[in-house]
Amino acid sequence: MRVLISGGGTGGHIHPALAIAEALLERAPDANIEFVGALGRMEMERIPAAGHVITGLPITGFDRKLSTRNLLFPFRLLKSLWISKNLIKKFKPDVVVGVGGFASGPLLWMAAKAGIPTLIQEQNGFPGITNRLLAGRVNRVCAGFPGLERWFPSEKIIETGNPLRQGILTRLGTSSKSAQNASDARNHFGLDLNKPVLLVLGGSLGAASMNRAVRSLMTSGALQDKGFQILWQCGGRYEDEQVAWANDHNDPNLIVKGFIDRMDLAYDAASIIASRAGAMSIAELALVGKPTLLVPSPHVAEDHQTKNARSVVDRHGALLIPDFQVESELENQVRILLDDPAKCAAMSTALQATAKPDAAQRVVDELLKLVPPTRQ
């Protein structure tokens, strides 16, 4: 079996692509899988680092205002289509998978034109432009969230959830809400064992609004008087500034990290989590099942993080704080949850009900339905 997987641009596209490849190789160890990405984007490093071959296309995004990049776009698109056509002719895939991002467009377009089965894995509650353009041409759409019938033919949609890699599933699966796990995790970060912990996650790069919210919460009064402590991932680009600020305040109830590499322990340590609403973050949070405050980023295409968050909030699995309100509302919402254990328990149950730890396997199920048995 020969499979091409295309897409990237962000970790939110790359991680599910790798999870799908990993799950497919578990089922079909002899499968020949190659990737297609966009030149200059992070997949061109991340995919080879994971041990896979990748071909780069010169495709880029399209700016909403006049720019040199827009003038070059038609030429880059034509070249990307030509490279995709030649790659398909040479590789002879049995199925082509797109996970979103610039590179998915030319490859899946040419694959569909050549009569090769195609599948999209759409992570978000509001699809990206590439996947929307491909909606009428692909054979199957594996949805991370419900409610995509507005953009894709309903008969093509299978709600699989968003694929997580096995290493993440294993680490989160071995976590629990036991007191011993929480104690070990809090010891790891140097947190007080007896106070609730607010875990603030603005993503690997960080979120300026959430960082301001933590600082505002700190300066509104000593954390010792608030009855909880904070484990704060401020983001790599903000690390020097925020660590220096925290050192100046020298409060033992605040632990700040640019990036938390043991996220499983951070989840174990947490009593309440405040997080951005990226699709893959929500997939992890659903497995963790802690009371969660979602703060969608306003800086993403089509405001898709708000749509992601709404999908969970509407099922009572989390609370939503708009980005422009997080500085004024974070402490208030944390206090409301800390004072209402029954509400926290109900939210946790509802959030865990949205989890789909078998998402990668379900995507592979759909992929294999598109491949003739003789090729499996």
Structure confidence by residue, pLDDT tens digits, 203-229: 777 899 999 999 998 887 655 577 899
DSSP 132-184: HHHTTT-SEEEESSS-GGGTS-GGGEEE------HHHHHHHHT----HHHHHH
Contacts of 57-63 spanning 24+ positions with Cβ under 8 A: 57/83, 57/84, 57/102, 57/103, 57/106, 57/107, 58/83, 59/102, 59/103, 59/105, 59/106, 60/102, 61/102
What's the pLDDT score for residue 176? 54
Distance between CA 336 and CA 340 in Å, rounded?
A: 6
What's the pLDDT score for residue 298? 92
- Which residues pair with residue 320 across a beta bridge? 294
Whether 2-164+357-375 shares its CATH topology with 167-353 is answered: yes
Distance between CA 342 and CA 320 in Å, rounded?
A: 18
CA distance to 12, 136, 294, 308, 370, per residue, from 84 (Å): 23, 19, 38, 31, 20
Helix (H, G, I), strand (E, B) or coil at 325: helix
Q: Which CATH class is domain 167-353?
A: alpha beta
Whether the pLDDT of residue 61 is over 90: the answer is no
Q: Do 190 and 255 touch, CB atoms closer than 8 A?
A: yes
Whether the pLDDT of residue 301 is over 80: the answer is no
Whether the pLDDT of residue 291 is over 90: the answer is yes
What's the pLDDT score for residue 65? 67
Task: Using pLDDT thresholds of 50, 70 and 90, give the confidence band for residue 155.
Answer: very high
What's the pLDDT score for residue 223? 55
Task: Supply the CATH classification number for the domain 2-164+357-375.
Answer: 3.40.50.2000
Q: Tens digits of per-residue pLDDT, 250-270?
A: 888 999 999 898 888 999 999
Residue ranges covered by each domain of the chain: 2-164+357-375, 167-353
What's the pLDDT score for residue 221? 63
Q: Tens digits of per-residue pLDDT, 5-56?
A: 998 888 788 999 999 999 999 999 999 999 999 999 889 999 999 999 999 9
What's the pLDDT score for residue 229? 94
Where on the phi/psi map is residue 221: left (φ > 0), alpha (ψ -120 to 50), or beta?
left
